[in-house]
């Protein structure tokens, strides 16, 4: 591992099932396949996956040639310095896992939209994932035209034009389209160059109060953990602002569900940070950018099996309110995308159940009040969120949750 501090960004991988997202991350990190198959064995591949990469650039070459995942320049063999570390958030492509994709999108500074060259574009989930990026406000997008090794140059060009037509008028209209073969490792340098250019490390405020969105939580003592020297109950995710240090007392909200006099209440969890990892490194302090894992003094029974996913961690007393009902402005799309039949979206109805994604939290609620562009929803599970937070709204259409619009949390 290197000792140079380089900017870190979180890049999401989205796109239709089997278009090669996992293979691509493997090519960009050199390690992912093993970890992924390890996860598969443990039966948790439906959850979000993470992998870290360090990118190197040789100053001696123009274009994508000098970009690689190895410190040795692929052209001249000279040693190069790292210029960027990247945490990949791999969202599963399957349509029933849209909630997981939305939960992961809260962590993304930008996204790679992976589209296979050997299938007509757009496929249903490609449409739905692009719409999700648009709704959650992810503007920095690089389109990867994958599997170019299995089509002729003419067909690749035809397909490229299909992608161009598909993204016209969307948030990805000006996104670069990089033809690659993840499997044959063709054009990976150009892809790294595009990621560097189009997904910059965002401005963040390390001086603000800490807010960590939790996207994984587990028992470190279980076999298969990547962070063997962390101890106790572990939470993983990303800081959106502020910093967390080793030894800090932290609070996790909403916390634990309890029954008090026949009422369900949520009690924030208070604990101490005993170790921090970013990527493969142990660090004394975590700042925004990249994914991290924090070892705490919590009993692993509280953190096991992703039980704290969707919660927020920060310093004691400094987190946003715990909300068991949300009032938000609503902007609905015209039609449901990604379904076989693209149905019109009707206004929200009183008593209608909705699935709402806020930060990494995915929660279900019932509409209790609705006006033209505002709604109130009572939640089954509360969330911890600030006024102004973005809310992705899904409703049941033809038996599954479909993304129908976006909300902004009001006072």
The annotation places the binding site for Mg(2+) at: 18, 22, 43, 45
H/E stretch holding 158: helix 153-167
Residue 21 CB, shortest distance to ligand GTP, in Å, is 3
- The alpha helices in 168-262, defined as continuous H runs, are 188-198
Residue 113 CB, shortest distance to ligand GTP, in Å, is 11
Distance from C-alpha of 330 to C-alpha of 324, rounded to nearest angstrom: 18
Please say which residue, 146 or 238, places its beta carbon nearer to ligand GTP: 146
Distance from C-alpha of 306 to C-alpha of 269, rounded to nearest angstrom: 15
The annotation places the binding site at: 18-23, 43, 45, 146-149, 181-183
Please say which residue, 22 or 357, places its beta carbon nearer to ligand GTP: 22
Please say which residue, 22 or 103, places its beta carbon nearer to ligand GTP: 22
- Residue 242, C-beta contacts closer than 8 angstroms, at least 6 positions apart: 205, 206, 207, 208, 209, 210, 211, 288, 314, 315
DSSP 261-277: TTEEEEEEEEEEEEEEE
H/E stretch holding 162: helix 153-167
Query: Which spans of this chain sit near ligand GTP (rule: CB under 6 A)?
Result: 17-23, 92-93, 146-147, 149-150, 181-183
Residue 114 CB, shortest distance to ligand GTP, in Å, is 6
Candidates 73, 32, 79; CA nearest to 52 is 32
The annotation places the binding site for GTP at: 18-23, 146-149, 181-183
Residue 157 CB, shortest distance to ligand GTP, in Å, is 17
Residue 183 CB, shortest distance to ligand GTP, in Å, is 3
Residue 292 CB, shortest distance to ligand GTP, in Å, is 23
The residues that bridge with 259 in the sheet, in sequence order, are 264
Distance from C-alpha of 403 to C-alpha of 394, rounded to nearest angstrom: 4
Alpha-carbon distances, residue 377 vs 27, 64, 351, 386 (angstroms):
43, 49, 9, 16
């Amino acid at each position: 591992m290197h000792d140079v501090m380089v900017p870190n960004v979180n890049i999401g991988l989205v796109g239709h099932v089997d278009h090669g997202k996992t293979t691509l991350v493997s090519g960009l990190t050199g390690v992912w396949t093993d970890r992924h198959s390890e996860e598969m064995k443990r039966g948790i591949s439906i959850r979000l996956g993470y992998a870290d990469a360090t990118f190197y650039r040789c100053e001696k070459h123009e274009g994508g040639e000098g970009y690689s995942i190895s410190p040795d320049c692929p052209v001249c063999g000279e040693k190069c310095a790292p210029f960027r570390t990247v945490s990949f958030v791999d969202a599963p492509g399957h349509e029933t896992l849209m909630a997981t994709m939305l939960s992961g999108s809260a962590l993304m500074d930008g996204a790679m939209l992976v589209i296979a060259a050997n299938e007509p574009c757009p496929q249903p989930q490609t449409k739905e994932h692009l719409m999700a990026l648009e709704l959650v406000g992810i503007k920095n997008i690089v389109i990867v035209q994958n599997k170019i090794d299995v089509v002729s140059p003419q067909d690749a060009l035809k397909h490229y034009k299909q992608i161009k037509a598909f993204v016209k008028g969307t948030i990805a209209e000006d996104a670069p389209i990089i033809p690659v073969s993840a499997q044959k490792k063709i054009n990976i340098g150009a892809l790294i160059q595009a990621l560097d250019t189009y997904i910059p490390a965002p401005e963040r405020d390390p001086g603000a109060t800490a807010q960590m969105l939790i996207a994984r939580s587990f028992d470190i003592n279980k076999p298969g953990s990547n962070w063997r020297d962390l101890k106790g109950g572990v939470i993983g995710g990303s800081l959106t602002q502020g910093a967390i240090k080793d030894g800090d007392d932290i609070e996790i909200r909403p916390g634990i569900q309890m029954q008090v006099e026949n009422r369900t209440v949520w009690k924030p969890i208070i604990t101490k940070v005993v170790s921090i990892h970013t990527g493969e490194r142990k660090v004394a302090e975590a700042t925004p950018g990249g994914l991290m894992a924090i070892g705490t003094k919590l009993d692993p029974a509280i953190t096991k099996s992703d039980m704290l996913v969707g919660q927020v961690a920060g310093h004691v007393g400094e987190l946003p309110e715990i909300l068991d009902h949300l009032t938000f402005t609503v902007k609905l799309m015209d039609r449901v995308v990604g379904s076989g039949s693209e149905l019109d979206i009707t206004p929200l109805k009183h008593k209608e159940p909705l699935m709402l994604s806020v930060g990494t939290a995915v929660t279900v609620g019932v509409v209790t009040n609705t006006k033209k562009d505002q709604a109130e929803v009572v939640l089954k599970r509360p969330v911890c969120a600030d006024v102004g937070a973005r809310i992705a709204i899904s409703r049941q259409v033809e038996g599954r949750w479909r993304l129908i619009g976006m909300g902004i949390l009001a006072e």
